[in-house]
């Protein structure tokens, strides 16, 4: 509908754009005509979106979802214009066409549609699923991070299984990022003075390596000779 709306304005620019030398009346659904500058921004925004879709490699440097969220501020009004224009051809009420698109759109954006079909995608709607396991911070994880911050040796480095564990140490334990590292596990490398494991590592037996979910059991050899000094059920801390 956004595309239809933009094309409608371009096609009927004499009626819908405020040009000083043209005094043609505006359509009834417009309160005022668009400024030329606004039309220019619209065309630029539309061009950027088309370029992102036509040339996917551009999204490597700047994700298309980020671009879409920015240009939507400018293009949202054309969604309504597109609905009004399309309704004239389909002989339907404009609000019906708009709602038929908006309702499914918001259901997917809020992950309600996934929930209906049994996919626990949203952390706000579930106490399970990949997002929950990685992002939800349990009280026991927070306590473990704080305990480690208070009882670890000064300036010692702490190994974690993945980035989610590192973020817990930084946010909950207030441990400086330079005292944490998450590259030893993926390489089966030498671990640092302490090892911090969180819910996903301990309970779910999972860790994320280069964006791929792996089993912690594949890294069991790395704990040989390491002493467990803290265990809260959801979190564990080892000393090398």
Residues comprising the chain, all counted: 240
Q: Which residue range forms the structural domain that includes residue 68?
A: 2-109
Q: Report the range out of 1-15, 32-46, 140-154 with the highest average pLDDT.
A: 140-154
Shared domain check, 166 and 80: no
Q: Of 42, 44, 35, which is closest to residue 16 (Cα–Cα)?
A: 35
Is the pLDDT score of 59 beyond 70? Answer: no
pTM: 0.62
Chosen domain end from 75, 109, 143 = 109
Shared domain check, 6 and 105: yes
Shared domain check, 190 and 93: no
Provide the β-strand partners of residue 209.
Answer: 212
Q: Of 171, 174, 162, 139, which is closest to residue 209 (Cα–Cα)?
A: 162
Give the count of alpha carbons within 13 A of 119, CB side only: 8
Shared domain check, 233 and 137: yes
Look at the block and give the residue holding tokens 């500058």.
37
Q: Residue 172 has which token pair?
A: 């909950």
Give the count of alpha carbons within 13 A of 195, CB side only: 25
Alpha-carbon distance 77 to 74, whole Å?
7
Mean pLDDT over residues 104-108, rounded?
Answer: 83
Query: Tens digits of per-residue pLDDT, 157-207?
Result: 888 888 888 899 999 989 998 998 888 887 877 888 889 998 888 888 888
| Cα torsion angle, 160, 161, 163, 169, sign | negative
Shared domain check, 147 and 100: no
Say if 139 falls within a structural domain.
Answer: yes
Shared domain check, 81 and 19: yes
Counting residues of the chain whose pLDDT is more than 90, the rounded percentage is 5
Mean pLDDT over each residue of the chain, to the nearest integer: 81
pLDDT, position 225: 83
pLDDT, position 146: 92
Number of domains in the chain: 2
């Amino acid at each position: 509908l956004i595309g239809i709306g933009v094309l409608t304005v371009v096609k009927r620019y004499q009626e819908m754009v405020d040009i000083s030398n043209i005094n043609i009346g505006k359509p009834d659904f417009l309160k005022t005509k668009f400024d030329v500058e606004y039309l220019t921004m619209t065309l630029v925004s539309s061009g950027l979106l088309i370029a992102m879709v036509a040339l996917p490699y551009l999204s490597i440097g700047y994700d298309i979802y980020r671009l879409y969220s920015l240009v939507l501020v400018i293009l949202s009004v054309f969604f309504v214009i597109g609905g009004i224009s399309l309704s004239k051809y389909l002989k339907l009420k404009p609000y019906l066409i708009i709602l038929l698109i908006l309702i499914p759109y918001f259901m997917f954006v809020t992950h309600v549609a996934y929930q209906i079909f049994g996919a626990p995608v949203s952390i706000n709607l579930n106490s399970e699923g990949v997002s929950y396991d990685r992002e939800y911070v349990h009280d026991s994880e927070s306590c473990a991070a704080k305990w480690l911050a208070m009882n670890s040796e000064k300036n010692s480095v702490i190994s974690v299984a993945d980035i989610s564990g590192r973020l817990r140490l930084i946010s909950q334990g207030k441990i400086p990022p330079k005292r944490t590292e998450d590259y030893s596990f993926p390489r089966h490398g030498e671990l640092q003075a302490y090892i911090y494991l969180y819910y996903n590592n301990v309970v779910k037996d999972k860790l994320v390596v280069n964006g791929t979910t792996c089993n912690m059991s594949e890294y069991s050899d790395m704990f040989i000779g390491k002493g467990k000094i803290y265990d809260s059920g959801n979190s564990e801390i080892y000393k090398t």
